[in-house]
Structure 1
Amino acid sequence: MSAHAGGKGMLLLFSLMAGACVTAADAPPAGTDYPRQFGYVTTQDGTRLAYVVYLPAAHGTFPTVFQYEPYLGGGSAPDKLWLKAGYAVVTANVRGTGCSQGQHDLFGPHEGPDGADIIDWISHQPWSNRRVGMIGVSYPGHTQLLVAAQHPKALRAISPSAITMNTYDDIVWPGGIYNVGFASRWSLLLQPGIAAVGAQARVAWGDQECRANMAAHAAPTLVEQTSSHAGFDAWWKVRSLADYVERVQVPTFISQSWQDHETSVNGATQMYARLKAPKWMALSPGGHGWTYMQPAFQSMLVKWMDHWVKGANNGAEKLPRVTVYWELGGKVPPVAAWETHYADWPVPGAQEQTFQLNGDGSLTRDDAAKQGDDKPRRYVFGPGTELIGSNAQFSLAPDPTGTLAWTSAPLAKDLTILGAIQVHLFASSDNADTDFVVSLHDVYPNGDVQYLQRRFLRASMREIDGAQSTPQFVYRDFDKPAPLVPGKVYEFDLSLPPIGAVLRKGHKLQVMVSSPSAIPQPDWGLQSLSLPGFNSVYSSPTYPSRIVVPVLPDAEVKGPEPACGSLAFLPCRPASPPRG
């Protein structure tokens, strides 16, 4: 993608042309104290993008926060968090969504330059002090990187939340398995449904152009597009943030949740590792957007944005580089039991503990490993699936003929995990291909099972990208599928997404291998292969299947033991669930 064209003369001409599309400021909408403007910004190729502006006061010039998205966009309600902090708030629809003209192209080549055009337009408005920060969770988290890579002059900071680095592996083809649940639900239900609400709001405000723009939008084709690109090809590379993140020059505050059910937490930690700009990161348990939803994080982010966008001398540049929130309850807004701070990621002081997957189903520390023999444990590929969307889903125990589990002895003391667990699985299959789901559980003393984390892998996509892989994350090429030789033993190395979790004294750590399910849980649903047969996992000195766990040996646990199933997006399965 070429850099955004600039020049003072071009910017002035562009701002005057776009300014002709701006409506006069309305009186504050009913129920708010914030003046509203709405209209269209015309990009340099002539496409008109719908926006709405809310001002913190009727008069004055203000710093701005800008959210750029395919959802409510130009029909959004006022964001009081930022308005109360003294910011003008601008929200706009990416092209082809809501009331914006054009055709939508997921993270396509227009989105960065279009967003840069809007920032240039913001900087020439009479209410703007020409200092802009970007905000947003999920899609508007991604667009921040695309826009920042264009280096718009007025942009001072970005705060991407719930983002990915590799759209292929982190959302649509995790581990090389098609996420039909997410692709279909997002493109056919969630995105168009939310965008329609924003469009209806604009029509109610008096927008005379919106209906015609929406009628010109093409029908969604994301399922057809994404399913036809089964490998990580050029189509995906353009739409993955890895090609943009190192071009970001403004301070960046990343936030993400461990159990995000739409965008894998891998994206946040990998982005942090690759950013060259000043960077901060906040991580927590929970689902999509749950870190951003926390009042404690929002207060910290406003302080941080005040420093970089307003220029406030408030010491925010000295905030800890990494903040971790622990054990969020399931209520909204979520509140953590405690938080910890670190100078970097991976966190200094973490120690690796290796646990062996033994042939008798035990999980033992490397200093107490059972050598076993070369006789594998087998399971039937296909029927053993685990649904993690809720306590109700999770309570349906996987078919025992279709899973294998390894469980530790009761822990002698609390085990605090922080980081990405590395899995080394020696396995074979009766077939030329198969799918693996490797899950991590916390088993309570009464036998209740709590979900912690999981990772997927299609065996034919096992090829590792050695140039990019690090001790913390195994990268894959995803463009060189290689069939298995039935019966041959292979080593499958994979990284679970990072996690922060405390297993209390007396609990057990458990690893489970199972098969994917296409049932949304709540959004991801992976289309598994239809190749019934046996998979085998080996545990011996020759084939030492194991996991390597990053542990904080001296971590202080500051909260009481939570009831199983009470934590956000950590569902619980009773010890003896009923079976039909």
Structure 2
Amino acid sequence: MHKHLTRPTLATLSLILASAPIAAAPPATLAPMTPDGVASYDQVRPEADFIRRVAMVPMRDGVKLYTVIVFKKGTSGGPILLSRTPYDAKGTTARTASQSIVDILPIMDKEFVNDGYIRVYQDIRGLHNSEGEFVMNRPIAGPLNPTGIDESTDAHDTIEWLVKNIPEANGKVGVIGSSYLGFTTLSAEINPHPALKAAVPESPMVDGWIGDDWFHNGAFRTFSLGFAVSQSTGKAEGSGLALGSGDDYTRYLEGGSMADYARKLGIDHYPFVQKLFQNPAYTEFWSGQAVDKWMAAHPFTVPTMIEVGQWDQEDSYGGPAVYKALAPKYEGTGLLHLVIGPWRHSGANHYGYDLGALTFTGDTAAEWRTRWVKPFFDHYLKGAPDPRIPPVLTYATGVNRWNESPRWPMGTPTPLFLRDGNGASFDKPAAPGHDDYVSDPAKPVPFIPRPINVADPDQWRTWLVRDQRFVSDRPDVLSYTTAPLTSAVHIMGAPEVDLFAATSGTDSDWVVKLIDVYPNEAPEAATQGSKPDMSGFELPIGIEIFRGRYVHSFAKPEPLKPGKVEHYRWALPNVDHVFLPGHRIMIQVQSSLFPLYDRNPQTYVDNIFYAKPGDYHRATQTIWWGGENASAVMLPIVR
């Protein structure tokens, strides 16, 4: 039996026509000479899974800072995760032209935005799209900054605006960021806004003279000039130094002193370049900008997880320095945490499967972010259960495992002595002796194999794990090596150099390396796959330099007396490492690390930046061991 078809009524036809798509009117016919330019294209299409807003956030002095707010559609009651950056908030939040939020943001944001976090990036004042004047690592308000405006106040004012103007937010804010962003993260914790509930400063710039970006124990890091130019030109829209191709070793050697080199490049007039050149010693100019001192001088109230890479090639000093400054009062309180992972600079925010020739147990960086960072913020910003983050979390390289510790350092300082026959042992030589080498500023020791191109990420990011056999046979490098270990040696802390040395000159640099020497037939080689054969590999565990003129005072340099034995003490980077049985421990000593650091003329001049060609001279360097001048490296050994 067939159903009867009824004729549609006028009302039904009206509904059908109303719901049907309306054909777009055909575009007007254009002439060949119609201009083809279009003002803009909105790359965020209606189907995007996110909302992206831009605001000019006012500060207390009227300056407005460019701020990008990104979150997933449907977010409600979400916590705010803030990063204040000199590296372009606009570009950071539009990394690819995609309609997926995890594509447009850095990889470290994935877990957060997928769980309802509101991600905020802001250009610091004076850079990119923000108003105001840029000052590199702007000093905190005080003796060096009478304006009353600093990164602390800007963070406070930003958070005040965010919690009042993002209706999708829950009113709680966390801050995070690496390198310069680590500096702004720490700054936000000084006189913090009440809504700031947690912070994760990663590889923070803390003290640019002692051991972060500009100097290390007085020796100048030459590549600071390129960074200064890139950040100071056109609101950081410049591209840095136009050096072209070629070997940086040759380029810097031919450039002469740093002042001569800067003049040749036409950058000697840059204010920050002049600040560097005018302040070679650790005077109040630098000590007054040390963030660890700022943190220690203010109440510490924000739960903080400090992170640093064990092989951080830029800012290995700052994070542990802040922890050390705060630990006497806050270690064990639950407010202060330290993390040391097997990473390069900012490597915690990328992929952590490997570093150079080293391979780890999976993606250690993603593991840290998901297992510890995300639960840390969830607890303080979302009310999630306490994840019981350990006071100290470190990754033991050599055995590839995470360690949880109640404090840092964990090891007991134990001297590994230099001795006769280029040996090293835990037994102090009774009889004194010495070894000599000639350091020539015309032939400085390269810090990586030539040709050197620091613009190459593969060279720069991995130089701290580069096989040191490329310099072991140089006559101006001394190597002291233990016998093969019969049992594992586990160190947790910062090895400390205890060097007795003399020079025939009136100034000198001293470079000490702590190295894990693999057996010449390493079983590790069988599992490396595409990695280099590790047989005989000389893996640096720590490398650090000391400028001799500062042996008695960082603030008041003085000439060295030719032939006089001086006692030099300084620290290598903080590590958690296991020297395995069958491996050997090596200590290398040399007097240059070029062109990473500027050349010491080895003749005392008031300001090395302005050294003249005639100031550079060869010098005989003497390393003492045994007796009263028993040179050693103090290893923080866990027993």
Q: TM-score, normalised by structure 1?
A: 0.76
* Aligned positions, number: 476
Secondary structure of the residue aligned to 1:538 is: strand
- Find the partner of 1:33 among 49, 55, 58: 49
Equivalent-residue separation in structure 2 for 1:360 and 1:392 (angstroms): 25
- Point out the more displaced range, 351-360 or 126-135: 351-360
Equivalent-residue separation in structure 1 for 2:594 and 2:135 (angstroms): 25
- Find the partner of 2:171 among 93, 113, 130: 130
Q: Deviations over 1:398-419 (max 9, x none)?
A: 5622111111111112222221
- Find the partner of 1:339 among 402, 405, 409: 402
Match of residue 514 from structure 1 = 590
1:371: Cα distance to partner? 2.4
Match of residue 322 from structure 1 = 392
Mapped pair 1:496 → 2:526: no
Do the aligned partners of residues 345 and 539 (structure 1) sit closer, same or farther apart at CA in structure 2, a change above 3 Å counting?
A: same
Match of residue 18 from structure 1 = none
Q: Deviations over 1:516-543 (max 9, x none)?
A: 33434xxxx4443334211101113121
Equivalent-residue separation in structure 2 for 1:526 and 1:454 (angstroms): 16
Equivalent residues in 2 for 1:338-417, closer than 5 Å: 338-347=401-410, 350-366=411-427, 369-382=428-441, 383=443, 385-388=445-448, 389=459, 390=463, 396-397=470-471, 400-417=474-491
Identity over the aligned pairs, expressed in percent?
A: 24
Q: Deviations over 1:351-395 (max 9, x none)?
A: 3332211132110112xx332334543443544525244477856
| Structure 2 letter corresponding to 1:283 | I
Match of residue 128 from structure 2 = 98
1:101: Cα distance to partner? 1.5
Secondary structure of the residue aligned to 2:416 is: strand
Match of residue 178 from structure 1 = 220
Secondary structure of the residue aligned to 1:259 is: coil
1:487: Cα distance to partner? 0.7
Mapped pair 1:310 → 2:382: yes
| Structure 1 letter corresponding to 2:489 | L
Q: Deviations over 1:83-129 (max 9, x none)?
A: 11211111001111111112211121422211211111111112332
Do the aligned partners of residues 31 and 230 (structure 1) sit closer, same or farther apart at CA in structure 2, a change above 3 Å counting?
A: farther
- Find the partner of 2:67 among 51, 55, 60: 51
Equivalent-residue separation in structure 2 for 1:419 and 1:285 (angstroms): 14
Mapped pair 1:287 → 2:329: no
1:55: Cα distance to partner? 1.9
Match of residue 481 from structure 1 = 557
Mapped pair 1:458 → 2:547: yes
- Kept in 1: contact 2:440–2:619 (CA 8 A): yes
Equivalent-residue separation in structure 2 for 1:307 and 1:147 (angstroms): 20
Match of residue 9 from structure 2 = none
1:226: Cα distance to partner? 1.8
Equivalent-residue separation in structure 2 for 1:493 and 1:194 (angstroms): 40
Match of residue 212 from structure 1 = none
Match of residue 250 from structure 1 = 302
Equivalent-residue separation in structure 1 for 2:112 and 2:207 (angstroms): 30
Equivalent-residue separation in structure 2 for 1:338 and 1:222 (angstroms): 42
Equivalent-residue separation in structure 2 for 1:115 and 1:531 (angstroms): 49
| Structure 1 letter corresponding to 2:312 | D
Q: Deviations over 1:281-313 (max 9, x none)?
A: 11122210123440111011010011112222x
- Point out the more displaced range, 28-37 or 299-308: 28-37
Equivalent residues in 2 for 1:412-427, closer than 5 Å: 412-427=486-501
Do the aligned partners of residues 378 and 396 (structure 1) sit closer, same or farther apart at CA in structure 2, a change above 3 Å counting?
A: closer
- Kept in 2: contact 1:180–1:527 (CA 8 A): no
Mapped pair 1:158 → 2:170: no
Match of residue 312 from structure 2 = 260
Secondary structure of the residue aligned to 1:136 is: strand
Do the aligned partners of residues 453 and 29 (structure 1) sit closer, same or farther apart at CA in structure 2, a change above 3 Å counting?
A: farther
Match of residue 563 from structure 1 = none
| Structure 1 letter corresponding to 2:488 | D
Match of residue 12 from structure 2 = none
Equivalent-residue separation in structure 2 for 1:35 and 1:498 (angstroms): 41
Do the aligned partners of residues 159 and 29 (structure 1) sit closer, same or farther apart at CA in structure 2, a change above 3 Å counting?
A: farther
Q: Deviations over 1:294-341 (max 9, x none)?
A: 0111011010011112222x122x22111112339xxxxxxx932111
Equivalent-residue separation in structure 2 for 1:56 and 1:134 (angstroms): 19
Equivalent-residue separation in structure 1 for 2:404 and 2:479 (angstroms): 34
- Kept in 1: contact 2:425–2:482 (CA 8 A): yes
Match of residue 581 from structure 2 = 505
Q: Deviations over 1:467-524 (max 9, x none)?
A: xxxxxxxxxx52111211111111111111211222221111010111233434xxxx
- Structure with larger Rg: 2
1:194: Cα distance to partner? 11
Secondary structure of the residue aligned to 1:135 is: strand
| Structure 2 letter corresponding to 1:153 | P
- Kept in 2: contact 1:416–1:500 (CA 8 A): yes
Equivalent-residue separation in structure 2 for 1:262 and 1:194 (angstroms): 23
1:243: Cα distance to partner? 3.0
Mapped pair 1:239 → 2:239: no
1:451: Cα distance to partner? 1.7
Question: Which runs of no fewer than 5 residues in structure 1 stay unpaired?
Answer: 1-25, 199-218, 329-335, 464-476, 554-580
- Kept in 2: contact 1:106–1:239 (CA 8 A): no
Do the aligned partners of residues 394 and 546 (structure 1) sit closer, same or farther apart at CA in structure 2, a change above 3 Å counting?
A: closer
Equivalent-residue separation in structure 2 for 1:237 and 1:73 (angstroms): 30
Secondary structure of the residue aligned to 1:360 is: helix
Q: Deviations over 1:198-230 (max 9, x none)?
A: 9xxxxxxxxxxxxxxxxxxxx954322222211
Equivalent-residue separation in structure 2 for 1:305 and 1:150 (angstroms): 20
Equivalent residues in 2 for 1:181-220, closer than 5 Å: 181=223, 183-189=224-230, 196=237
Equivalent-residue separation in structure 2 for 1:380 and 1:59 (angstroms): 63
- Kept in 1: contact 2:180–2:205 (CA 8 A): no
Equivalent-residue separation in structure 2 for 1:32 and 1:516 (angstroms): 54
Equivalent-residue separation in structure 2 for 1:197 and 1:176 (angstroms): 28
1:151: Cα distance to partner? 1.8
Do the aligned partners of residues 392 and 238 (structure 1) sit closer, same or farther apart at CA in structure 2, a change above 3 Å counting?
A: closer
1:192: Cα distance to partner? 6.7
Do the aligned partners of residues 168 and 375 (structure 1) sit closer, same or farther apart at CA in structure 2, a change above 3 Å counting?
A: closer
1:144: Cα distance to partner? 1.3
1:72: Cα distance to partner? 2.2
Do the aligned partners of residues 197 and 538 (structure 1) sit closer, same or farther apart at CA in structure 2, a change above 3 Å counting?
A: closer
Do the aligned partners of residues 384 and 371 (structure 1) sit closer, same or farther apart at CA in structure 2, a change above 3 Å counting?
A: farther
Equivalent-residue separation in structure 2 for 1:170 and 1:427 (angstroms): 22
- Find the partner of 2:81 among 50, 53, 65: 65
Secondary structure of the residue aligned to 2:373 is: helix
- Kept in 1: contact 2:467–2:538 (CA 8 A): no
Match of residue 185 from structure 2 = 144
1:139: Cα distance to partner? 0.7
Do the aligned partners of residues 98 and 344 (structure 1) sit closer, same or farther apart at CA in structure 2, a change above 3 Å counting?
A: same
Do the aligned partners of residues 262 and 93 (structure 1) sit closer, same or farther apart at CA in structure 2, a change above 3 Å counting?
A: same
- Find the partner of 2:369 among 282, 291, 298: 298
| Structure 2 letter corresponding to 1:431 | G
Equivalent-residue separation in structure 2 for 1:301 and 1:195 (angstroms): 30
Match of residue 620 from structure 2 = 534
| Structure 2 letter corresponding to 1:160 | P
